[in-house]
Amino acid sequence: MIPLSIDSELKQHFPQLQVACFCCQLSCKPSSNKLLEHIKQQTNQLQQSMQLPEIAQLNPILTGRRAYRILGKDPARYRLSADALLRRVLKSKGLYSINNVVDTLNLISIQTAWSIGGYDLDKIKGPIRFGVGQKDEAYRGLGRGALNIQYLPVFRDEIGAFGSITSDSERTKIDADTQRFLMLIPSFETTAKLKECLDIVPGIYREYCQAKAVEIQMI
């Protein structure tokens, strides 16, 4: 498992902060019909059981939005990724199909309401630090162009910031060449729900992405 540490600034704001980590070797390819059907079943279930205003009350989203406000970021403008995904589902806009690795990540996110970062591990250089975006700092977000990450909680390597729970960067994105995968799920308070989410991840990735050499840990 790649070393990961939490910067003191985040620890001061959120002394109970945890990060769930999952990494593995896998095969990245177009999503199978079985995976797409699983996603369809999950989206149908959510549309039947949840109303749009309820999203903000789901604990991972509630605590994440609160953390953004504490750090000085507007969670309505810079939505948590799970918030954005669930809104698409409940507005019947559907989820984009990217590949089996990303689609499986999105499936887990809408199942659990956790905002999840997913990265090509071979594109990350050196240890990872979880900290706060600096003044006027930005990176190229996936499908978003330049993303202002000032005051966002962000993951960094020796090159610079590469991920947040609003949008990950183009630099470390999953593509057809990805062979080693890293998933990071932060929680701004201690909760057993984070471990419950992490526990289901290996099985789903083994089923849909042929994951092997699996490692998991809680920071």
Per-residue pLDDT at 64: 95
Which homologous superfamily is 4-218 in?
Answer: Phenylalanyl-trna Synthetase, Chain B, domain 3 (3.50.40.10)
- Residues 70-114 pLDDT 10s: 999 999 889 999 999 999 999 999 888 999 999 999 999 999 999
Per-residue pLDDT at 34: 97
3-state secondary structure the chain: CCCEEECHHHHHHCCCCEEEEEEEECCCCCCCHHHHHHHHHHHHHHHHHCCHHHHHHCHHHHHHHHHHHHHCCCCCCCCCHHHHHHHHHHCCCCCCCCCHHHHHHHHHHHHHCCCCEEEEHHHCCCCEEEEECCCCCEEEECCCEEEECCCCEEEECCCCEEEECCCCEHHHCCCCCCCEEEEEEEECCCCHHHHHHHHHHHHHHHHHHCCEEEEEEEC
Per-residue pLDDT at 143: 75
Which residues of the chain have a pLDDT value below 50?
A: none
Per-residue pLDDT at 159: 94
